[in-house]
Structure 1
Amino acid sequence: MSARGIAFFDIDGTLVRSMSSSSFLAERLGHQHELDAAEEHYASGKATNEEVSVIDAAGWRGIQARTVAEWLVDLPLIAGVDAVVAWCIERDVEPVLASLAWQPVSEAIAKRHGFTVNGGPRVHVVGTVYDGTVAEHFDEYDKRDRALELAAKRGVSTDQCCAIGDSRSDIPLFDTLPASLALNAGLAARAAATAAADTDDLRDVLPWLAAWERTLP
């Protein structure tokens, strides 16, 4: 039986507040300064996500996949994630990650907190070691399209979906869905969303989610 609805959650800037997940990993990989500059260019529209991914992936060369997985155990998330996931599951709303974060990041957060993973870019792995190249690019339009594909696969209409995010990468999905929340967001995302909120605790989005959930069949 399909879910009553799907709630899509962005990762960087939304679930991960203090820095991007890529910056968190780049600090350990040794190329944080270069990556942060590239991400600033993406945020301002001066670089594509593809260009940022190539720069970031190069820093992964020679690193064991298990090492990255171990680092991600310590990735700091916004407070209240488990409570919001539990709220969704209790109401037959599927909590899904919709993000441009690397797939190991999505997989780690999903494993820790009970989200569904749904796409993202990948660094190429040879055996058990990252080789520093991008195996799969994934931009804001892929993020939107993968979300819609999942909804169709679940038999859930777009009218039964909502999205929570904070940045440029969320706008195509926001533009497609009837309900969207710009959380701790920049001006462009706020303008595209149907509502906005600022908080350091994800539980504060529950009233908005509850109002959306009441519209579901």
Structure 2
Amino acid sequence: MKCIVITVGPKQVAKVVCDIWGFDDYYGSDYEVVHEEFTGTIVNYIGAEEKIQCLKDYCEKNVINPEECVAVGDGSTDIPMFRYCGKSIAINSSSKVRENAMYAVDTEDLRDILKYIT
């Protein structure tokens, strides 16, 4: 099983999360950093359509069928990924996001989604 992060947030933060938790890869928005500090400028934004493209690229590169993928998300930019993947889980999300996912979970512990993945 592969596990990747695709976020609208800073790719620099996504990298740290991947390094700590052992995710296989990451994609995120490119936030400008000057003198080791975020300036607040977003150089390259990863929105809903870009998230799909990141996922497609990853699946193609790793010969993975999107039907075998599980999208987990909490925001409206995750909805297109929910539709693209075989399973989808909304976590701590709004009703709009929940309505577009196969499953919805409110939790502080990501392990609670495992029963929907296996």
TM-score above 0.5, yes or no: yes
Name the counterpart of 1:139.
47
Confirm or deny that 1:196 pairs with 2:99.
no
1:165 CA displacement: 1.0
Q: Distance in 2 between matches of 1:133 and 1:100?
A: 13
Counterpart of 1:201, as a letter, is: D
- Percent identity over paired residues: 26
Q: Distance in 1 between matches of 2:37 and 2:109?
A: 36
Alignment of 1:13-162 (within 5 A): 93-126=1-34, 128=36, 130-162=38-70
1:117 CA displacement: 3.1
Question: Which gives a bigger RCO, structure 1 or 2 (Cα 8 Å, sep 6+)?
Answer: 1
More strand by percentage: 2
* Further displaced range: 180-189 or 115-124: 115-124
Q: Residues 130 and 157 of structure 1: is their aligned pair in 2 closer, same or farther, counting only changes over 3 Å?
A: same
1:132 CA displacement: 4.5
How many residue pairs get matched? 118
- Stretches of structure 2 lacking an aligned partner (at least 5 in a row): none
Q: Residues 199 and 131 of structure 1: is their aligned pair in 2 closer, same or farther, counting only changes over 3 Å?
A: closer
1:190 CA displacement: 0.8
Secondary structure of residue in 2 paired with 1:123:
strand
1:170 counterpart (55, 69, 78): 78
Counterpart of 2:81, as a letter, is: L
What's the CA shift string for 1:160-186, capped at 9, x where partnerless? 111111121110101111210111221
What's the CA shift string for 1:127-162, capped at 9, x where partnerless? 755555322121111011101110111000111111
Secondary structure of residue in 1 paired with 2:88:
strand
Q: Distance in 1 between matches of 2:57 and 2:63?
A: 10
CA radius of gyration, larger in:
1
1:122 CA displacement: 1.1
More helix by percentage: 1
Q: Distance in 2 between matches of 1:178 and 1:97?
A: 17
Maintained 8 Å contact 2:18/2:26? no
- Stretches of structure 1 lacking an aligned partner (at least 5 in a row): 1-92, 211-217
